[in-house]
């Protein structure tokens, strides 16, 4: 079954975890890689949905596929789980916050001392949750899951560990410390690792061209497994 016959779910952008009504924990993800992947998915799939965190609306305007906006990591998890179907492709390019404040203040926290301590609790791991659901739910047979790893050090070791621990079919390693790669840029550098031990290097290129290359690799992997 080709990508034309599969639903493709793409996530992108950051999430926000609110501390009080004016402050939040987030990261520098722009969502540009996610949008590029959703555009590439729409070009080859009969059904594409893009689930995104807070990002510039100009990046979303006029897109021809279905778009769902979320804010927190828990919101993102709920939206992703609600879209999963058997045979679908999930591309998790979003950068969800790993932690959230244990308590959110209803009022703005005032400056009162030289130090402020905020207790954080771990957010749910979306890819691990997807893996658990896939293993337990026969209706999700054939779900193909692609993760992203945005790293600054020990990059390959971490990506390969994530590939195994989260039971991914493929992972896209993004060394954000390299010039021209990472958040907010229009270019990227990615190394793809597959479940079967294959490696594919994408040199510096536009995120649009990279997205098309990643979708071609997914199509090839699915075709190989269908033989």
Taking the CA atoms of 128, 215, 193 and 204 in sequence, report the sign of the dihedral they define: negative
DSSP assignments along 113-132, one per residue: SS-----EEEPP-HHHHHHH
| 163 contacts: CB under 8 Å, gap ≥ 6 | 147, 170, 171, 193, 195
Taking the CA atoms of 95, 100, 106 and 108 in sequence, report the sign of the dihedral they define: negative
Instruction: Write down the number of H helices and E strands in the chain.
Output: 5, 12
Clarify whether 123 is annotated catalytic.
no
Bridge partners (DSSP) of residue 100 are 121
Question: CB–CB of 223/2 below 8 Å?
Answer: yes
User: 27, 57, 123, 174: which one is catalytic?
Assistant: 27
The values of phi and psi at residue 184, to 5°, are 70, -15
Take residue 189 and report the two structure tokens written for it: 């550098």
Q: How many CB atoms lie within 10 A of CB 83?
A: 16
Q: Which residues are catalytic?
A: 27
């Amino acid at each position: 079954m080709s990508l034309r016959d599969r639903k493709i779910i793409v996530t992108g952008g950051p999430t926000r975890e609110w501390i009080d009504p004016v402050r939040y924990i987030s990261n520098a993800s722009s969502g540009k890689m996610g949008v590029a992947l959703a555009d590439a998915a729409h070009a080859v799939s009969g059904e594409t949905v893009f689930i995104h965190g807070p990002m510039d609306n100009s990046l979303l305007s006029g897109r021809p596929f279905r778009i769902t906006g979320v804010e927190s990591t828990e919101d993102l998890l709920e939206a992703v789980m609600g879209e999963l179907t058997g045979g679908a492709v999930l591309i998790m390019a979003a950068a969800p916050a790993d932690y959230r404040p244990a308590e959110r203040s209803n009022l703005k926290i005032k400056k009162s001392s030289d130090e402020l301590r905020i207790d954080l609790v771990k957010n749910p791991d979306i890819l691990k949750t997807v893996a658990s659901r896939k293993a337990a739910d026969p209706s999700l047979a054939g779900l193909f899951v692609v993760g992203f790893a945005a790293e600054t050090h020990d990059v390959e070791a971490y990506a390969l560990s994530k590939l195994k621990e989260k039971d991914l079919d493929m992972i896209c390693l993004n060394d954000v410390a390299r010039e021209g790669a990472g958040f907010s840029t229009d270019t990227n550098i990615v190394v793809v690792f597959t479940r079967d031990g294959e490696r594919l290097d994408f040199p510096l290129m536009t995120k649009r061209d990279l997205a098309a290359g990643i979708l071609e690799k997914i199509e090839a992997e699915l075709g190989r497994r269908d033989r």
